[in-house]
Every structure is written in structure tokens, then in C-alpha cells.
């Protein structure tokens, strides 16, 4: 039976020669992920199972990133519960303040995911690791608990949409613009419980940062997962970060897709998602004067070194607009260190920005940049639902690091092409 990339990975991990759309399977897991918000619930459920140990201490990871460094007593108690559990169960990959990062940037950096893996995480943006040719998806905390106990999870095999990429991105157009364009095209439920599979000659123009960003936001189109065809760029990244030996799965030539969508990357323009859904996208021929109060550059979507470099190139030698708060959040400690050694942090600070330790913070309305009623933010995060970053009467506009940086300089939503040219 012909299968897609995702179906081949799921078949291999369920001990089957083939699987078909809609089939229920029990699959072996290569990694189980939790954070400081979702892990405490999973830990409580794990205790109910009566298990003395986890299935494999090397295949579970907890990352303290949402409210760490702790913003209040409740956050401190949640992190302590995770800390104590991981110490008791001798979990190898526990990341706390000082060595942690935003989970979906940290795990690829640490080489914890490789091509062909099956990964679940109690966080919806676990789909990020499809950029490495893995099947990865978000689950509830109860599924995380069962995964920690048994090393297995139930899945319904998804159908797929094939995205065939051609062409190359223009200057200061990035993976964020690509995925916003796609979500604007198909809608927030356009890939509901389906696999978004990316292939085509255009892949060669997408960096790993681009791919990680695109896969990260597959969930914003309702997808079960996003996954990229493995190529030399993927393999070089895995080797560079010490990942395990990759297992490469390619879709069969006659694999069935619900639809095939062609995307010419050379036609993608800087794109912004207006409130209050990621599908509410516009390009700059349809954006008027929208004044802003805050800019956030960071998150599991766009806090990587490449993102910070793009922002710094635009901000260097300039000052942020008066009354615009600019918050820069490197996604991991290593990215923070690299940015410091490259002089990027000086660029940001001289521009008038504040640079934070790695944290999810403002993305989910946690801390480090909460919006008041009536305020507007341009942010490189992944969601702009009502109240996502603070007051229900605030507004969140999703954009690339380049667009966010340009907007920080002008005090209004601005294309990077307006500031620095094409």
C-alpha cells in the first residue's frame, strides 16, 4: 500500500508493514516532552498509574520555559514538582533555569530529535520537529503520563496535504511569511487532523530556521503534524547538533493526498496576521496605518539565531520609535551566547530594546510583556487569539522578525522592504 512520509513513520513504529488513513494504531515513542505548565498535570496522572519508574529515563524530557524564571509562587510550585519528579525518576534530559531554553528550540539544538522519530509533547507546538523529518505532535497531559509510563501512544493515522514548493525566497522574506501565507490560504482548520507534508525543489532555499518555523505553526492550520522531506540541509543540521542516526522515510510516488498545493516561494511577500486569528493575513498592499505599542521578537517560532540576525540587520544604527516597547527573547542559552558574541545584543540595546533570558513569557500572556487594554503588539509568536498576550481588548499582530524589527523603528506595522529595501 502506498504511504506518505508520516504514514511510513507510524507504520514502522507500530510494527506494521503499512497503515491507512483513519486506522487506529499503538506506536512506540522515541521521546516524550513536557514543560512547566503541562508536566505537573501529567505527573499527577502518572502517580495514579502506580508505576515506580518511567519507561526510559533517556527518552523523557521536561523543560522549564513557560513561567521560568518563576514569575510567582504558583509557577515556583509547578517547577518544583517537575524538578522533584525528574530527580526521583533520574530523568536525563531535565532543563531548568540557566541551561534551559524554549522547548521547541532547545530540543533540536540538543540533538534530542532526529529524522524518523515519533515524538509526543504536552504542548501543541510539538509539531515543530517535523522540520527534521520526524513525526511529532502535541497531546494532552494524560497522554503524556501514559507515554512516560509505557513508551507508547495511540494515534489515528492522518491523511495528508502535499505542499510542493518551488522558487526561492526574496530578501527579508522568511519561513514565517511562508506559513502565514499558507494559513491565510487554507484557514485555521484547513488541515484539520491532517499531515502537512512539504516537498519540492524550493526546499533548498529554506534554512532549518525557516523549516522549524513552518512546522511549528502547522497546528495553527489545525494539522496533526507538519513534516519536511529530509535533504542534505536536514542531515547537516542533525550531524552538527549530535543527533542520533537518522532514519529517512520518503513518500511513495503514488501516495494518496487529499490535495496538492503548489507554493512559489519567489512570490511570497512580507505577511502579517491581523487579530484575532492566524488566518487573517494581509500583505503590505492591504495594510494601512496601524500604530503599535510593543514589539516582541522571540518564541519557539522565531527566537533562533537566524531570526535575531535578521532583526539586528534592520535595527542596527537606529532607534526604536518613541513609546514603542521592544522585547527581544533569544530562544536558548546558546542562542543568547552566540548573539552576545556576535554583538547583536549591543545592537538591540542601543536601539532601545530589552533583552530577556529565554522564556515563553509574553507569547501566552504569562509575563515579560503583557498588554493592557487597547494596546497593540507586533510579535513573532504563533497565536493572536483574543487575550492571547494580555487584556482581551488588546490586539496581537503576527509577523516575521524582519517585519517586527522594521515596525519597531517606525512605530507602526511596517514592511522590512520599506526600511531596508528588497
Complete DSSP assignment for 277-327: -TT-EEEGGG----B-SEEEE-HHHH-SHHHHHHHHHHHTT--PPTT-EEE
pLDDT digits (tens, 9 = 90+) for 211-235: 999 999 999 999 999 999 999 999 9
For the segment 240-252, the average pLDDT, to the nearest whole number, is 93
Report d(CA 192, CA 196) in Å as an integer: 10
Judged against a pLDDT cut of 90, whether residue 297 lies above it is answered with yes
pLDDT digits (tens, 9 = 90+) for 342-384: 999 999 999 999 999 999 999 988 899 999 999 999 999 999 9
Q: Are 268 and 184 in contact (CB under 8 A)?
A: no
Report d(CA 388, CA 68) in Å as an integer: 18
Q: Do domains 5-265 and 273-420 have the same CATH topology?
A: yes
Secondary-structure class of domain 273-420 per CATH: alpha beta
For the segment 160-179, the average pLDDT, to the nearest whole number, is 97
State the chain's mean pLDDT as an integer.
96
Q: How many CB atoms lie within 10 A of CB 100?
A: 23
Of 209, 391, 415, nearest to 314 (Cα)? 415
360 is in an annotated binding site: yes
**What pLDDT, on a 0 to 100 scale, did the predictor assign at position 420?**
84
86 is in an annotated binding site: no
Q: Are 53 and 86 in contact (CB under 8 A)?
A: no
Model confidence at 1, in pLDDT bands (50, 70, 90)?
A: confident
**Domain boundaries, given as residue ranges, for the chain:** 5-265, 273-420
Helices and strands: H and E segment counts in the chain:
14, 18
Secondary-structure class of domain 5-265 per CATH: alpha beta
pLDDT digits (tens, 9 = 90+) for 276-294: 999 999 999 989 899 999 9
Model confidence at 422, in pLDDT bands (50, 70, 90)?
A: low
300 is in an annotated binding site: yes
pTM of the model: 0.95
Amino acid at each position: 500500500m502506498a504511504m506518505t512520509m508520516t504514514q511510513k513513520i507510524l507504520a514502522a513504529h507500530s510494527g506494521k508493514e503499512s497503515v491507512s488513513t483513519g486506522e487506529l494504531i499503538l506506536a512506540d515513542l522515541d521521546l516524550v516532552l513536557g514543560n512547566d505548565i503541562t508536566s505537573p498535570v501529567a505527573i499527577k496522572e502518572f502517580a495514579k498509574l502506580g508505576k515506580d519508574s518511567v519507561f526510559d529515563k533517556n527518552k523523557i524530557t521536561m523543560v522549564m520555559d513557560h513561567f521560568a524564571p518563576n514569575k510567582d509562587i504558583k509557577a515556583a510550585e509547578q517547577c518544583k514538582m517537575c524538578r522533584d519528579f525528574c530527580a526521583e525518576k533520574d530523568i536525563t534530559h531535565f532543563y531548568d533555569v540557566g541551561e534551559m531554553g524554549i522547548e521547541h528550540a532547545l530540543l533540536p539544538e540538543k540533538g534530542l530529535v532526529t529524522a524518523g522519530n515519533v515524538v509526543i509533547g504536552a504542548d501543541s507546538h510539538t509539531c515543530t520537529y517535523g522540520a527534521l523529518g520526524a513525526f511529532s505532535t502535541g497531546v494532552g497531559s494524560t497522554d503524556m503520563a501514559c507515554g512516560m509510563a509505557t513508551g507508547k501512544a495511540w494515534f489515528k493515522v492522518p491523511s495528508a496535504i502535499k505542499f510542493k514548493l518551488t522558487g526561492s525566497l526574496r530578501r527579508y522574506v522568511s519561513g514565517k511569511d511562508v506559513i502565514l501565507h499558507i494559513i491565510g490560504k487554507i484557514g485555521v482548520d484547513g488541515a484539520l487532523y491532517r499531515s502537512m507534508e512539504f516537498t519540492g525543489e524550493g526546499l533548498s532555499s529554506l534554512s532549518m530556521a525557516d523549516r522549524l518555523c513552518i512546522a511549528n505553526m502547522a497546528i495553527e492550520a489545525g494539522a496533526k503534524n507538519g513534516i519536511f522531506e529530509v535533504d542534505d540541509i536536514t542531515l547537516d543540521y542533525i550531524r552538527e547538533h549530535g543527533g542520533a542516526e537518522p532514519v529517512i522515510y520518503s513518500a511513495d510516488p503514488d501516495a494518496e493526498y487529499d490535495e496538492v498545493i503548489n507554493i512559489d516561494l519567489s512570490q511570497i511577500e512580507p505577511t502579517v496576521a491581523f487579530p484575532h486569528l492566524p488566518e487573517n493575513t494581509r500583505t503590505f498592499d492591504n495594510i494601512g496605518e496601524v500604530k503599535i505599542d510593543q514589539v516582541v521578537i522571540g518564541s519557539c517560532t522565531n527566537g533562533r539565531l537566524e531570526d535575531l540576525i535578521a532583526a539586528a540587520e534592520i535595527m542596527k544604527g537606529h532607534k526604536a520609535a518613541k513609546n514603542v516597547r521592544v522585547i527581544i527573547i533569544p530562544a536558548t542559552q546558546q542562542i543568547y551566547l552566540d548573539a552576545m558574541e556576535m554583538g547583536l545584543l549591543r545592537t538591540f540595546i542601543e536601539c532601545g530594546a530589552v533583552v530577556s533570558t529565554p522564556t515563553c513569557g509574553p507569547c501566552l500572556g504569562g509575563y515579560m510583556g503583557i498588554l493592557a487594554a487597547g494596546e497593540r503588539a507586533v510579535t513573532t509568536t504563533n497565536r493572536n487569539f483574543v487575550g492571547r498576550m494580555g487584556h482581551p481588548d488588546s490586539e496581537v499582530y503576527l509577523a516575521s522578525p524582519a517585519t517586527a524589527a522594521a515596525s519597531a523603528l517606525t512605530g507602526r506595522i511596517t514592511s522590512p522592504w520599506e526600511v531596508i529595501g528588497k
